[in-house]
Amino acid sequence: MPLLELLLSAIVDALAYSSMIYMAALGLVIIFGLMDVFNLSHGAFFGLGAYIFVTVFYATNNFLLSILVTALIGAAVGLATERLIIRPVYGQPLAQLLVTMGLMTLLFTLIQLVWPTGLWFPETESFIVSGYVEIASVRVRVYKFFLMVVGFTLFALMSITLSKTMFGVKLRAGTESRELARVFGVNIDRLFSLGFMLGSLLAFLGGALVAPLTHATVELPVHFSLLAFAIPVVGGMKSYTGAFYASLLVGFVDRFVAYFAPWLTFAVDLFVMIAVLLLKPEGLFGR
């Protein structure tokens, strides 16, 4: 493929990928911002979402229904995790690290156990999901544009929620100071649960949405885990806007390397992370 076409294809890919990375990572930032807990199992949530979505799709053949079910499961898993696993170790950073790492490994093992060979997302009749479009003689999958729309919509929704709703105000207040939020009458425990549920739901949803594009492969949970982890590091651990721009950056870097030097993908992703950590440890948009 001539260079211009290749470039166009890569850009579309990168934008779609960035959207999904944003979905995976936004929950991480919300949770860390509120609770100072870095949920290492978040990427595993993403992977689980993909697998559950495809499994449900096999059974129902209904895209929207599968999405809905996955999202609900995601919220439930989030609630259960926050109550049973995160809350008991609240205030102990080492234990939090260890327990979320344990959950991550556990979920990865579970995924390998139940679906040892990955899941293939089949062709559908829907134009949006499986159709193609021609742009400047390049055949682009329509679904990628769909993902882009989802990502940008999410960013818009997030910005509106944060700035215009009381929930958003509470979220920002809780992120700034838990103690003061309590003094202002905010029920922090409930906020934590809601925040974790929202984050988890987004991760599951992201996995579900990416599955038709990438299929639920064996590598998917690990790959997106690391990409998601890179976002708070690059964008700022508690910055909601930072997460969006960091997703774009990481998404573009990842996909462009994948196009031109695929064996270096992981290494370059890692390099970006290290570079930011060493040069601007609080993240590009962090305070």
Partner 1 sequence: MSLGRVILSVRDLHTYIAGFYILQGVSFEAGEKSITAILGRNGVGKTTTLKTIMGIYKPVKGEVRFKDENVTALPTDRIVSKGVSFVPAEKSIFGTLTVLENLKLAYNGPKDKFADRLETVYSMFPELKRFSSNRAGELSGGQQKMLAVACGIMREHELLILDEPSEGLSPLYVKTLLKELKGLSESYGKSILLVEQNFALAKEVIDYVYLMDKGVVVAGFPAEKIPEKDELIRRVLGVKL
Partner 2 sequence: MEKLRGLVLPHRALGYLVMAAILAAPWVDRSLAAGLALSYVWASLALSYNILLGFAGVASFGHAVPFGVAAFLTAYMLKAGVPYLVVIPVAGIVAGAIYTVMGLPAYRVRGIYYAILTLAIAEALRSTIESTARTTVALTVGSIAELESLAGLYIYLALFLLLVALALASAAQDVKSTRRKRARFLKAVVYAVFLAGLAAAGYRMLFSSAEFLAGVSAGMPRVRVMRFLYPLNAYLLSAVALAACYIAIKRLAESPLGTTLVAIRENPVRASVLGYNVFAHQLAAFFASGFFGGIAGSVYVASIPTVMTDVFGSDKTFLALTGAIIGGLGTLVGPAVGGIVAGVLRDYLSSLTPALLSVSGLTPQQAQLIPSFVLGVIYIAVVLAMPYGVWGTWLLRGWKLKRKLENLLGFGAS
Residues that bind partner 1 (CB under 8 A): 166, 169-170, 172-173, 175-177, 179-180, 182-189
Contact between residue 218 and residue 265 where contact means Cβ atoms under 8 Å apart: no
* Partner from partner 2, partner 1, none contacting 269, C-beta within 5 to 8 A by type: partner 2
126 interacts with, out of partner 2, partner 1, none, CB within 5 to 8 A per kind: none
Please count the other Cβ atoms lying within 10 Å of the Cβ belonging to residue 175. 22
Whole-number minimum distance, CB 99 to partner 2, in Å? 5
Residue 172 interface partner, choices partner 1, partner 2, none, CB cut-off 5-8 Å depending on type = partner 1
Tokens 């809780």 belong to 174
Positions that interact with partner 2 (CB under 8 A): 38, 40, 85, 88-89, 92-95, 97-99, 101-103, 105-106, 108-110, 112-114, 116, 219, 222, 226, 229-230, 233, 262-267, 269-270, 273-274, 277-278, 281
116 binds, among partner 2, partner 1, none (CB under 5 to 8 A by kind): partner 2
Residue number, 77 or 186, with CB nearest to partner 1: 186
Q: With CB cut-offs between 5 and 8 Å by kind, which of partner 2, partner 1, none does residue 183 bind? A: partner 1
Query: For partner 1, which is the closer residue by CB, 33 or 43?
Result: 33
Tokens of 98: 């260890």
Least Å distance, CB 222 to partner 2, is 6
Residues of the chain by 3-state class (helix, strand, coil), percent to 5: 80, 5, 15
Nearer to partner 1, 138 or 188 (CB): 188
Measured from the CB atom, the residue of 3 and 278 that comes closer to partner 2 is 278
What's the rounded Cα separation, in Å, for the pair 284 and 74?
Answer: 30
Return the axis-axis angle of helices 142-164 and 188-214, rounded to nearest 10°: 170
Apex 55 CA angle, 49 and 57, nearest 5: 100
Closer by beta carbon to partner 2, 85 or else 142: 85
200 touches 35 (CB < 8 A): no
Bridge-based pairing state of the strands 132-135 and 138-141? antiparallel
Of the candidates 43, 60, 61, 59, the residue with the CA atom closest to the CA atom of residue 111: 43
